[in-house]
Amino acid sequence: MSMSPSILSVLSEDLLVRVYEFLDPPCRKTWRLISKDFLRVDSLSRTTIRILRVEFLPTLLFKYPNLSSLDLSVCPKLDDDVVLRLALDGTVSTLGIKSLNLSRSTAVRARGLETLARMCHALERVDVSHCWGFGDREAAALSSAAGLRELKMDKCLSLSDVGLARIVVGCSNLNKISLKWCMEISDLGIDLLCKICKGLKSLDVSYLKITNDSIRSIALLPKLEVLDMVSCPLIDDAGLQFLENGSPSLQEVDVTRCERVSLSGLISIVRGHPDIQLLKASHCVSEVSGSFLQYIKCLKHLKTIWIDGAHVSDSSLVSLSSSCRSLMEIGLSRCVDVTDIGMMGLARNCLNLKTLNLACCGFVTDVAISAVAQSCRNLETLKLESCHLITEKGLQSLGCYSKLLQELDLTDCYGVNDRGLEYISKCSNLQRLKLGLCTNISDKGIFHIGSKCSKLLELDLYRCAGFGDDGLAALSRGCKSLNRLILSYCCELTDTGVEQIRQLEHLSHLELRGLKNITGVGLAAIACGCKKLGYLDLKLCENIDDSGFWALAYFSKNLRQINLCNCSVSDTALCMLMSNLSRVQDVDLVHLSRVTVEGFEFALRACCNRLKKLKLLAPLRFLLSSELLETLHARGCRIRWD
């Protein structure tokens, strides 16, 4: 008896594409496996891809001909040779690629970048952030991508004004560039950038040692909308005065931790840009004065303001909130003068508030939290770290009224207990919850979170010593979507509880630091169940034997970062780990008492072609072979000698 044809076979390709677009990623994967029609649709409609293994790159590029975005940031073996072989492969087409992510691809240098720029004619966006070896030669190679619109070069430590000049001359149509932590860039490079790339809309010069001369040049950009200059130590109020009459399109400014900037400089910005929507000035102004508030009153479109660390009186906060009723985000962390009176005024005036940071505001009590919860019904993020006067009463109001709450930080809040967690669990949309250092919670409170917060993605229980295996089992049963879990120094946990973590199939980040009661049995269970694990911290887990590390080597193929400091791993197990974990890029290997110099040598040789960061004890610098160290350096690996 012949099987009847699939109903999908009678649908047109356009209809199949429309159906496919309604499916979430897990469902798409299922349908691709069981239907050739959907497999074909996926092949034709997919526009973005993230490559994990370099050997599959040519095949995947051939399979998906309509890609516009290619992410190679987690492809550990990517280097110039791979790129050159790809260019010689006649079956591969990259003509449609518009976005290329090469973040942390430290082994791709000038040859590879020049080849990629030549292959991807439509290239508009490139990310080479954290490529610490990216210098002037690499910049010159990338400058051949004339159509580039967006470029991210954060922490390209070898890039100088010469390289930046090559880029801006070759890519004069740039409208977004980030130079954060490019410490060799000076006023000269910024001046040339601003003279040639007149269409810039977004510029990040954070942490650069540029002076007011750069701000004078930046002020001449007619279309600039976003300017980030966090921790620029040489910029002061005189520099910000240039912005008062310049950059007429400016909407967002961040001068966080610019130590020479005061209220006078901020007033210059505000006075010249009444339509500004975002102003971040955390830890750079000492207080919010009456004169500043007079100018703030003109900012009717202000949606975000950060004034963390400033002295903000209750009257100032009430005045600020009454003037800027469109505020959706406000940062008040470490504003020690803020009390319930000011917070009640804020809640009364800013009904559309979505994000509120009150970390280390020690005088804020349940009264303020209740007022915010009742008035600001759209609240999505609330940070209350070290607010020691918050108790279950305030959390009860959050549970009743904050139904849209997605992120809650209660780190180091002494008053949080099991009853408080019961109230919090009523926030059914909660996705990120931080409870680190909350010493008064037990399995009972954690059970409420596990049974009701099914959408939880991230949970921090750092040093929550009051809960144990039963609580962890409840979390593992109820919070199946968890992808980040921090259990460091939860000393009551044993293999019995840790074994339950294997139910969390989506877990990608796990911290188990200092859990002395877990053994190889617990680690093996995690390795078998959590196949997506990418980050694992096992520092000071002294009782895990080689059986756990063998399981990790066999099952955890997606691990990219691992901390094994003070673990009892042997030479053999370490070599097996480093050779089998084909995607590992960042490893901490300090104080491994059972590993010999030969063990380190063999283990590092097994993975030297993919490591990006490595932490070792300083004496090993003189014991490991110079050939190995040179190879690691040539591949772009940064070694931290502890």
- Number of alpha helices (DSSP H) and beta strands (DSSP E) in the chain: 26, 24
Residue type, 531: K
Please give the helix or strand (H or E) that residue 497 lies within, else none.
helix 495-498
Q: Output phi, psi for 311, to 5 deg.
A: -80, 110
CB-count exposure of residue 163 (10 Å: 0-12, 13-18, 19+): buried
User: What pLDDT, on a 0 to 100 scale, did the predictor assign at position 412?
Assistant: 97
Distance of CA 440 to the CA centre of its chain: 30
Q: Is 136 helix (H, G, I), strand (E, B) or coil?
A: helix
Q: Contact at 8 Å (CB) between 242 and 265? A: no
Distance, in Å, from the CA atom of 529 to the CA atom of 48, rounded to the nearest integer, reads: 28
User: What pLDDT, on a 0 to 100 scale, did the predictor assign at position 3?
Assistant: 43
Q: For the segment 417-450, what is each residue's pLDDT rounded down to a tens digit?
A: 999 999 999 999 999 999 999 999 999 999 999 9
Q: Contact at 8 Å (CB) between 316 and 340? A: no
Task: Give the other-Cβ count within 10 Å of 197's Cβ.
Answer: 22
Token readout for 530 is 């959590």
Give this prediction's pTM: 0.93
Distance, in Å, from the CA atom of 488 to the CA atom of 533, rounded to the nearest integer, reads: 16
Please give the helix or strand (H or E) that residue 433 lies within, else none.
strand 432-434
519: left (phi over 0), alpha (psi -120 to 50) or beta: beta
End-to-end CA, the chain: 71
Distance, in Å, from the CA atom of 225 to the CA atom of 32, rounded to the nearest integer, reads: 42
Which pairing describes strands 176-178 and 150-152: parallel, antiparallel, or unpaired? parallel
Q: Contact at 8 Å (CB) between 361 and 338? A: yes
Q: Which residue has the tokens 């099987």?
A: 3
Task: Give the other-Cβ count within 10 Å of 177's Cβ.
Answer: 23
User: What pLDDT, on a 0 to 100 scale, did the predictor assign at position 136?
Assistant: 97
**Backbone Cα Rg of the chain:** 27
Distance, in Å, from the CA atom of 470 to the CA atom of 472, rounded to the nearest integer, reads: 5
DSSP letters of 559-618?
A: --EEE-TT----HHHHHHHHHH-TT--EEE----TT--HHHHHHHHHHHTTT-SEEEE-G
User: What pLDDT, on a 0 to 100 scale, did the predictor assign at position 34?
Assistant: 74
Kindly report each contact of residues 590-598 with a partner whose C-beta sits within 8 Å and lies 24 or more positions away, as own/partner.
590/565, 590/566, 590/615, 590/616, 590/617, 590/642, 591/565, 591/566, 591/617, 592/564, 592/565, 592/566, 592/567, 593/568, 594/568, 594/569, 594/570, 595/569, 595/570, 595/571, 596/571, 597/623, 597/624, 598/571
The total number of residues shown for the chain amounts to 642
Q: Which stretches of the chain drop beneath a pLDDT of 70?
A: 1-11
Distance, in Å, from the CA atom of 383 to the CA atom of 334, rounded to the nearest integer, reads: 12
Closest CA to 504 of 548, 458, 545: 458
Distance, in Å, from the CA atom of 390 to the CA atom of 200, rounded to the nearest integer, reads: 45
Q: What is each CA distance from 324 to 256, 403, 444, in whole angstroms?
A: 20, 24, 42
CB-count exposure of residue 49 (10 Å: 0-12, 13-18, 19+): middle
**509, 354, 250, 166 alpha-carbon torsion, rounded to 10°:** 10
Residue partners of 423: CB distance under 8 A and separation at least 6: 392, 395, 396, 398, 399, 400
Q: Which residue has the tokens 């004339």?
A: 146
